[in-house]
Amino acid sequence: MNLRHMGILILMACALASGAVGAEDAARWQPLPTVAPAPADNPTTPAKVRLGKMLFFDPRLSSTGTVSCFSCHNVMEGGDDHRPVSIGVEARRGERNAPTVWNAAFLSVQFWDGRAATLEDQAKGPLVNPLEMGMTSLRAQIFRIQRIPGYRPYFEKAFGPGNVVSMDNAAKAIAAYERTLITPGSPYDRYVEGDHSALTARQVRGMRTFAAVGCASCHQGPNFSGPPLPLGQGFFVKFPLYPQSPYVAKYGLMKDLGRYDVTHHPAEKNVWRVPGLRNLVYTAPYMHNGSVKTLPEAVRVMASTELNRTLTAEQVGDITVFLEALTGPFPRQTMPRLPPTPGDLLGR
Amino acid sequence: MNLRHMGILILMACALASGAVGAEDAARWQPLPTVAPAPADNPTTPAKVRLGKMLFFDPRLSSTGTVSCFSCHNVMEGGDDHRPVSIGVEARRGERNAPTVWNAAFLSVQFWDGRAATLEDQAKGPLVNPLEMGMTSLRAQIFRIQRIPGYRPYFEKAFGPGNVVSMDNAAKAIAAYERTLITPGSPYDRYVEGDHSALTARQVRGMRTFAAVGCASCHQGPNFSGPPLPLGQGFFVKFPLYPQSPYVAKYGLMKDLGRYDVTHHPAEKNVWRVPGLRNLVYTAPYMHNGSVKTLPEAVRVMASTELNRTLTAEQVGDITVFLEALTGPFPRQTMPRLPPTPGDLLGR
């Protein structure tokens, strides 16, 4: 069974389940693991994480030398870029809201449309996207990195001696760093691990409402992005499921066809990977098009478009304060030191 | 005596001295202080440094939310942006090479043309420069910061309670952080403090040549940017002093009139603040227009245009390895945590 079919199956299962999963089933609440899973061919090592952090923060990986992974995935804040849609090299606007890199390691597929199976694959996308980092090819990208001689020792520490300054290794290192960008230990996590003082009474009520009204049908699992699946097997849903919702026109939610643009399968029009819900306090504005500006409005939109429900003001408020309990803590990070630039690396 | 006249006087003194200062005088070698001086009305405090670091790294201080102080002053590398000229919001190209922020605290005036007396004044410039961070006014800037509620507690910790989320305080905090961005303890500093093993024999020979041929006439003092002067009193030179040098046309060194564009004083055409020489390994390409790509070539250009000398290959090599000894060490820094963004802060 290939990735696409798995995606469709899960989409169908999810749609069927949305009425059936009640508070009890959904209440198998899970804390975030304290270590992110890594693929067998890229175990996380300190040397890879160190190199990956350097590459993640290095704007010289873009055509103009001005845009790094960090530019749109600001790990000093919400792991996104605060904007409705991102701005890449030469001020080019992207078409979708930058997803947070925090806890991306727990997603079974990457990008809003799930078109990359792993963080390793994902890392290569923005580098050569003309609207993002704008390099003409991955070959041009690794040539750029090779022209910064100070990188070689870090590649060798991470991958051994030899011809190791390669694009695959750069992507592996970036992915290894991203697997350290996780936020276990939020008030929610502490609560489900037994510290009942970690949530307020209203947050606990919001947690129950979140399950009872059906949010947890899709937003389940430790990252609230769906059940654990093998890497590369995506948990997708149709969004909006109820196109008659007034929010659909208001926020232009059907304009982008999502996964259909990857697979061209008619059943996957407006199908999306289920995003996680952690650190939403930091990731406004919301939705794939960045059209929804506040968290309470995002709760109303999702209830209407996915569950065909109009929540009461109290329910919206309760769910919102529960979602706020999924925030942080963010690991303390030191800044990387980047190697020097040859003076002819970048043109005007 | 106003700033402008002081500048001219020093320019004249420097020009006269360039023949007269020999190896002995110039050899009053000074290490970089381990603490940067601060103005009486802005003593450096941990709370200000903490806030200033947040603001320095915050791209929300630009019109598009994509450009921060850090964008062009990359303190993970050379404190500049690796480019000939900078790129600001909407991909607008600036006209000059970004000066490094490392050790800017030891400059007596800021910007290539010395148009700001202090780091506090300097910090306000790029925010409202349409080619840089592009905010329409400092009023719009502080309104933007005030709309991020998470900043208020940090302003209050730094400046006390009350109406303290002001542009002046933001600039003071950024300047306080910048005063921590200093690199004492380089091999050169250790050498002049008595550790004679800190430099190689060739570096010591380069140090003597640097003084003997006249570089140290202007590039003197602990930061190699001129003698210590009261804040706001600049150490300026005409560059090129010898316009007949073939490098002048080759690198377009007279196109930008420098300080003249600030003062409109005819004697200040092509007059510039003397830049420091630390961490040059990290700050290629060189000169106010970023036209010179390598350090040996920069040495040749300066010797020709300022001293009317053609150095031997050995002299150029010796001076280059001496200049390399002015590198680092860079303080280990933790990343700031930035407060959350309201979803309507930034448009498309």
Average pLDDT of every residue of chain B: 92
CB atoms B293 and A341 under 8 Å: no
CB atoms A341 and B82 under 8 Å: yes
User: Between the CA atoms of A171, A172, A174 and A178, what dihedral angle is there, to the nearest 10 degrees?
Assistant: 130
CB atoms A344 and B293 under 8 Å: yes
B344 vs A66, A85, A293: nearest CB:
A293
Average pLDDT of every residue of chain A: 92
**Residue range B293-311, pLDDT digits in tens:** 999 999 999 999 999 999 9
CB atoms A341 and B78 under 8 Å: yes
CB atoms B284 and A341 under 8 Å: yes
A188-204: average pLDDT: 97
Contacts for A74-77 with beta carbons within 8 Å, 24 or more apart?
Answer: A74/B59, A74/B338, A75/A101, A75/A102, A75/A181, A75/A330, A75/A333, A75/B335, A76/B57, A76/B335, A76/B336, A76/B337, A76/B338, A77/A282, A77/B337, A77/B338, A77/B339, A77/B340, A77/B341
Predicted TM-score (pTM) of the model is 0.94
B154-180: average pLDDT: 98
In the structure, what pLDDT confidence band is assigned to residue B79 with cuts at 50, 70 and 90? very high
- What's the rounded Cα separation, in Å, for the pair B280 and B328? 10
Classify the phi-psi angles of A63: left when phi > 0, otherwise alpha if psi is within -120 to 50, otherwise beta: alpha
Would the pLDDT of B4 be above 80?
Answer: no
B61-71: average pLDDT: 97
In the structure, what pLDDT confidence band is assigned to residue B24 with cuts at 50, 70 and 90? very low
A26-47: average pLDDT: 91
Would the pLDDT of A57 be above 70?
Answer: yes
The reported pLDDT for the residue numbered B12 is 44
- What's the rounded Cα separation, in Å, for the pair B253 and B270? 9
Would the pLDDT of B153 be above 90?
Answer: yes
In the structure, what pLDDT confidence band is assigned to residue A1 with cuts at 50, 70 and 90? very low
The reported pLDDT for the residue numbered A17 is 43
CB atoms A59 and B74 under 8 Å: yes
Q: Which residues pair with B236 in a beta bridge?
A: B273
| Better-predicted residue by pLDDT, A39 or A5 | A39
The reported pLDDT for the residue numbered B6 is 47
Substitution target in B58, B62, B66 with the highest count of A β-carbons within 10 Å is: B66
Contacts of B38 (CB under 8 A, 6+ apart): B44, B176, B179
The reported pLDDT for the residue numbered A230 is 81
A342 vs B284, B334, B340: nearest CB:
B284
For a pLDDT cut of 70, what percent of chain A falls above it?
A: 92
Would the pLDDT of A20 be above 90?
Answer: no
B265-292: average pLDDT: 97
Classify the phi-psi angles of B269: left when phi > 0, otherwise alpha if psi is within -120 to 50, otherwise beta: beta
In the structure, what pLDDT confidence band is assigned to residue A150 with cuts at 50, 70 and 90? very high
CB atoms B341 and A66 under 8 Å: no
What are the E-state strand segments in B249-345?
A: 271-273
| Better-predicted residue by pLDDT, B191 or B228 | B191
CB < 8 Å to A292, chain B: 343
CB < 8 Å to B95, chain A: none
Locate tokens 């059906």: which residue? A214
CB < 8 Å to B345, chain A: 82
**Number of helical H runs and strand E runs in chain A:** 15, 2
- Of all residues in chain B, the one with the smallest CA distance to A93 is B348
CB atoms A65 and B83 under 8 Å: yes
Would the pLDDT of B22 be above 70?
Answer: no
Q: How far is A344 from chain B (nearest CA, A)?
A: 6
The reported pLDDT for the residue numbered A293 is 97
The reported pLDDT for the residue numbered A229 is 86
Catalytic residue among B132, B297, B306, B324: B132
Cβ-in-10-Å burial (0-12, 13-18, 19+) of B230 comes to exposed
Cβ-in-10-Å burial (0-12, 13-18, 19+) of A142 comes to buried
Short-list B230, B229, B234, CA closest to B4: B234
Tokens of B303: 């010797």
The reported pLDDT for the residue numbered A8 is 45
- What's the rounded Cα separation, in Å, for the pair A234 and A228? 10
In the structure, what pLDDT confidence band is assigned to residue B230 with cuts at 50, 70 and 90? confident
The reported pLDDT for the residue numbered B304 is 98
Q: How far is A78 from chain B (nearest CA, A)?
A: 7
Told to judge if B314 belongs to the known catalytic residues of this protein, a careful annotator would answer no
Would the pLDDT of A22 be above 90?
Answer: no
Would the pLDDT of B271 be above 80?
Answer: yes
The reported pLDDT for the residue numbered A347 is 85
Would the pLDDT of B26 be above 70?
Answer: no
CB atoms A76 and B336 under 8 Å: yes
| Mean pLDDT lowest among A18-27, A281-290, A305-314, B200-209 | A18-27
| Better-predicted residue by pLDDT, A131 or B3 | A131
- Of all residues in chain A, the one with the smallest CA distance to B57 is A76
The reported pLDDT for the residue numbered B17 is 43
Contacts of A140 (CB under 8 A, 6+ apart): none
Would the pLDDT of A108 be above 90?
Answer: no
- What's the rounded Cα separation, in Å, for the pair B141 and B137? 6
CB < 8 Å to A337, chain B: 76-77, 330
Would the pLDDT of A3 be above 90?
Answer: no
Substitution target in A51, A63, A66 with the highest count of B β-carbons within 10 Å is: A66
B238-261: average pLDDT: 97
B177-189: average pLDDT: 98
For a pLDDT cut of 70, what percent of chain B falls above it?
A: 92
Catalytic residue among A132, A268, A306, A324: A132
CB < 8 Å to B338, chain A: 74, 76-77
Q: How far is A92 from chain B (nearest CA, A)?
A: 8
How far from chain centre, in Å, is Cα A94? Answer: 16
B106-117: average pLDDT: 94
Short-list B215, B277, B288, CA closest to B251: B288
CB < 8 Å to B284, chain A: 340-343
Q: How far is A158 from chain B (nearest CA, A)?
A: 20
CB atoms B284 and A77 under 8 Å: no
Q: Spell out the domains of chain A, with CATH numbers in brackets.
A: 3-32+184-324 (1.10.760.10), 46-178 (1.10.760.10)
Query: What ipTM score was computed for the predicted complex, to two decimals?
Result: 0.93
